[in-house]
Amino acid sequence: MNGRVVLWRPLERLKYIDDVNMNLSPWMQRLLNKPENSFMCAVDSSYVLDKFNLVGLEEMLPDYQTAARVVLQPYSRVAADSNTQSEAELFYGLVHARYVMTPRGIAKILEKYVAGCFGHCPRDKCKRFSVLPIVGCHFAYRLSDEAGADTVRIYCPRCMEVYVPPAGTKGAAVDGAYFGTGLPHMVFMTRPEYTPPRFNDRYVAKLYGFRVHDSAYDFQRHEGNEQRRSVQQRAGSTSAAMTTSAGNRAKTSTVTSSILGTTTTAHRLTPPARHHKFH
């Protein structure tokens, strides 16, 4: 594998790729040159200028038009405002999530995927298969397209699992919403020749050479819960019996002391006086 994805047909030059002649604004170039944004692709300026591609952004960025001017005109006065810069980065990320679902965006993602720019599957049996970015998990492991919900995750098309990128991975800190939940699936739907063959080489749990049944852990957990419940019930019964016995002894001691005290008081004898004889 050598860290690269295995293609199931000869790799042709991906069309739509013409980054050399692409007219990128200096603001975009600075953003994409940052190591933390290495997962992201260059969005065509023409795509940003098309208002149809920006429909709905006003709900997340009320002043998205100002952010668009910062992205396309980096020497504008509004670019000096740090808050506006943050909004411009968010604007670019949200537009990026839409752009990578287009044929041109998919071609750029595929070029990075083939080169292994997104990393490799951490699963041993996948043999460092190349992965694709996908939105992070949020709310009980459900994928969310919401901006700021979580950082990007990686999806392995061979084992079809989602993983947290290894520590130190460049680009792993970027917002997962900049890629969306459907990017890997759109890539392989539109370019099926890059889809790896599925495999059933799953890890089989064995103990002393025997396969562990899928329900074995549930059975052992159930048995353990039953044993703990039985021990707790016996401990509770013993404790209650000891408490009752101690209470009965305390009552008996109190009654006996009361009886003896009364008896001693009623029959108290005065010791006889001693008589001394004087000679």
- 217-253 tens-digit pLDDT: 888 888 788 888 888 888 877 776 677 666 666 665 6
Between 262 and 63, the more confident residue is: 63
Give the containing element (helix H, strand E) for 154. Answer: strand 153-156
pLDDT score for 2: 44
Q: Structure tokens of 246?
A: 């101690």
Average of per-residue pLDDT across 159-171: 87
**Which residue ranges make up each domain of the chain?**
26-194
Domain range 26-194, CATH architecture: Single Sheet (2.20)
User: What pTM value is reported for the model?
Assistant: 0.66
Q: What does the alpha-carbon distance between residue 88 and residue 198 come to, in Å, rounded to a whole number?
A: 40
For 180-192, how does the pLDDT look when each residue is reduced to its tens digit (9 = 90+)?
889 999 999 999 9
Q: Of 52-66, 81-95, 128-142, 220-234, where does mean pLDDT reach its minimum?
A: 128-142
pLDDT confidence of 171, banded at 50, 70, 90? confident
Give the containing element (helix H, strand E) for 240. Answer: helix 216-266
Any idea what DSSP says for residue 211? E
Q: What does the alpha-carbon distance between residue 74 and residue 84 come to, in Å, rounded to a whole number?
A: 12
